[in-house]
Amino acid sequence: MMEWLLEPFKYEFMIRGFLAATFVGAICSIIGCYIVLRSMAFLGDALAHAILPGIAVAYLLKGDITLAALFTGVLSALGINFLSKQGSIKEDTAIGILFSASLALGIAIISSIRTYAVDLSHILFGNVLGVSNKDLLLTAILGSLILLLVLLFYRPFMIVSFDPVLATTLRIPVDKIRSLMLVMMAITIVIAIQSVGVTLVVAMLVTPSATSYLITKRLPAMMAVSAIVGFLSSVIGLYASYYWNIASGAAIVLAATCFFLVAFLFSPQKGILLQRFTSPAKKK
Amino acid sequence: MNYNFKSMLHESDLKTHSVSGGLSHIEFENASIGYPGAIVLENINLKIPPGSQVAVVGPNGAGKSTLFKALVGLIPLLSGDIRVHGLSVASHHDCIAYIPQREEVDWKFPVTVRDVVAMGRFGKQGLFRRESKADKEIINEALHRLNIEELAAKPIGNLSGGQQQRAFLARAIAQQPHILILDEPFNGVDVNTHQVILNLLISMKLHDVTILVSTHDLNLAAEKFEKVILLNKKMIYFGDPEQAFTQDNLQIAFGKQILLLNNKQSILVDECCPTEDKVNQV
């Protein structure tokens, strides 16, 4: 058993993969709590796709992909924030247009590159086993920055998410706080693209936090449990990827989905199975 | 810098509060409120002295919530002026506690009753400071006054409507406001909570807190409040409750909802349907 568990770590790229995936899994899951609570999953998806053209251009010009992604990510976050304040079309329509246009633009640019298929699949589905030491360092720095901001702004974030009206009467700068949250989301998505890719980022943001939402009662607990679920999903996903030769990003997301299903069925307060069994008894 | 000025303002207010009884606490001067092209309230003129208990009455869509939201800066002022303590609305930190209608809160959010009450202390704590011992005492006291101590650890979503209303009242108390604004606090609450809210209003009176409450209960407005604002897009009446509910005033305010009988006694039917209210408030 021990041997089975340790075997992947014989390879340096596996160690780097584990470090990157678990850290990213935890960070995504913490930010994801705000995304789940504020029903911003669609926005997260849009943001992930909006980053694609930036990555594509960096590929084309052989520039730094992560930096390019970071730049377009933050730009899109602020752009979406701006668009959603304009009243002319509904917010989800605006996001939908931006989202598919970016995806199309990104694919159009990438398709002009010769090694198109491989590169595209890495961007779309992630390539956590191809993480370099430099990538790992950048992930660690950006991830720590996100964690620090979550801790520092814990209460303003909570109040703005729970009760924006109170936030306004307390003179919390609601707009600035929302922009900051969007930028943090964008940064998180950028570091997550390496491990799960553009298409599966949303799953990493939403699934562990939704799982945790079902079994916790308070925000700090929700964040902690979510981080653990995200961490474990990454570990399990990478083992599955190593031994069964499955794409790592997909394996991580599937592991997280299993956690979610278990919570969805068996959560003491909100699980559908236990409620079905306990609620008739309560009625008597 | 701005912040320091505000906190100074607070302290001086507290000191002069009881002395300067003649100063008008809340002042609307030709205030028009709403959005360009969709004015909800027009030409409001009001001077509310400190420590008054004011009932705000009017049919659905009259602009009661809009009046409140303008006062806390949630809806823009189109023209005219609104002043609190002689200063514009934007320059106040958290001396106004506002409890919106129940529909406007996300009840599925993972916070306990205590978490909700603790949020009331945020304005006094600033961005990064932690809960102090004094904060904890104030929070416990607020929980105690609303009789929800034993619910403190429960998620807010698991409570009944009346209990949720009490949790929000406790939060407003923890905020230690000079002005307390309650939008339809008696809507859909149990008898017990109804009484708790009334008791609270009486005790707030002792602390010289100015209170504005919107309600559809005209008897309550007439009996328990010192002043009444009768509203329907415009100010119809502001003053003592005795003269508020004259036939003329009511007819202007409620229009077709009023039934005139032969002997000139009128019957008023004011039905409360918050969904309609919400449409008007955007």
**pLDDT tens track for A257-278:** 999 999 999 887 777 776 666 5
Round the average pLDDT of chain A to a whole number and report it: 85
| Whether the predicted pLDDT of A26 surpasses 60 | yes
Count chain A–chain B contacts defined by CB atoms under 8 A. Answer: 68
> Taking CB atoms and an 8 Å cutoff, what residues of chain B touch A37?
106, 109-110
When pLDDT is cut at 50, 70 and 90, the band that residue B94 belongs to is low
Q: What tokens appear for A115 in the block?
A: 């090694």
Q: How confident is the model at residue A207 (pLDDT cuts 50, 70, 90)?
A: very high
Q: Locate tokens 């329907």: which residue? A: B232
Cβ–Cβ contact A155 with B under 8 A: yes
Closest CB to B127: pick one of A156, A158, A166. Answer: A156
Q: Do B123 and A159 touch (CB under 8 A)?
A: no
Q: What pLDDT score was predicted for residue A216?
A: 92
Answer for the pair A205, A48: CB distance below 8 angstroms, yes or no.
Answer: no
Q: Does residue B57 have a pLDDT over 70?
A: yes
And the tokens for B218?
């005209």
**How many Å lie between the alpha carbon of B26 and the closest alpha carbon of chain A?**
16
Put simply, the answer to whether B97 touches A169 (Cβ < 8 Å) is yes
Q: How many CB atoms lie within 10 A of CB B117?
A: 29
CB proximity A283 to B under 8 Å: no
Confidence tier at B273 by pLDDT (50, 70, 90): low
* Residue B99 contacts A, CB cutoff 8 Å: no
Is the CB of residue B241 less than 8 Å from the CB of residue B251?
no
- Output the six-digit token pair for B123: 């304005």
Pick from B270, B274, B271: nearest CA to B105 = B274
Interval B264-271 mean pLDDT: 65
Q: CA B273 from chain center: how many Å?
A: 18
A151 CB burial (10 A radius; 0-12, 13-18, 19+): exposed
pLDDT of res. A184: 93
Q: Above 80 in pLDDT, residue B278? A: no
Lowest mean pLDDT among A45-54, A235-244, B86-95: B86-95
Contact check, Cβ <8 Å, A170/B115: no
ipTM for the assembly: 0.81
Mean pLDDT across A170-193: 88
- Distance in Å, alpha carbon of A226 to nearest chain B alpha carbon: 13
Residues in chain B within 8 Å Cβ distance of A213: 110
Task: Say whether pLDDT at B113 is over 90.
Answer: yes
Q: Specify whether the CB–CB gap between A192 and A201 falls below 8 A.
A: yes
pLDDT at A37: 92
Backbone angles phi, psi at A83, to 5 degrees: -60, -40
* Chain B partners within 8 Å of A158 (Cβ): 111, 115, 119
**pLDDT number for residue A283:** 39
Is B91 touching A (CB cutoff 8 A)?
no
pLDDT cut 90: percent of chain A above it: 36
Assign residue B195 a region (left: φ > 0; alpha: ψ between -120 and 50; beta: otherwise): alpha
Residue range B114-127: average pLDDT? 84
Tens digit of pLDDT for each residue in B167-185?
999 999 998 888 999 998 8
Chain B: closest CA distance from residue A34 (Å): 10
pLDDT for res B264: 61
Q: Give, for A45, the enclosing helix (H) or strand (E).
A: helix A41-50
Confidence band of A145 (pLDDT split at 50, 70, 90): very high
Residue ranges of the domains in chain A? 2-277
* pLDDT, position A86: 67
Greater confidence (A145 vs A122) lies with A145
Q: Cβ of B110 and A170 within 8 Å?
A: no
Nearest CB neighbour to B109, from listed A156, A162, A165? A162
Q: Do B119 and A163 touch (CB under 8 A)?
A: yes
Residue with tokens 């905020």: B175
In a 10 Å sphere around its CB, with 0-12 CB exposed, 13-18 middle and 19+ buried, how is residue A6 labelled?
Answer: exposed
Res B19: pLDDT: 37
Q: Which of B94, B110, B122 sits opposite A216 (nearest CB)?
A: B110
Span B251-263, average pLDDT: 72
CA atoms within 13 A on the CB side of B151: 25
Q: What is the pLDDT of residues B126-150, one digit of tens each?
A: 666 678 888 999 999 999 998 899 9
Res A274: pLDDT:
67
Taking a C-beta distance cutoff of 8 angstroms, is the pair A204, A232 a contact?
no
Closest-CA residue of B relative to A216 is B110
Q: Which of residues 210-249 of B touch A (CB under 8 A)?
A: none
Tell me the pTM: 0.82
| Distance in angstroms (rounded) separating the CA atoms of residues A266 and B218 | 49
Does B110 sit within 8 Å of A222, measured CB to CB? yes
Q: Give the pLDDT mean for A80-86.
A: 72
Domains in chain B with CATH codes: 2-95+179-190+209-281 (3.40.50.300)
Architecture of domain A2-277: Orthogonal Bundle (1.10)
Find chain A residues with C-beta within 8 A of B176's C-beta.
none
Q: What is the pLDDT of residue A67?
A: 82
For residue B13, pLDDT beyond 50:
no
> Closest by alpha carbon to B113, among B140, B162, B151?
B151
What would the mean pLDDT of A39-50 be, rounded to a whole number?
84
- pLDDT interval class at B266 (50, 70, 90): low
3-state secondary structure of B132: coil
Contact status, residue A162 vs residue B106, Cβ threshold 8 Å: yes
Interface of B with A in 172-201 (CB under 8 A): none
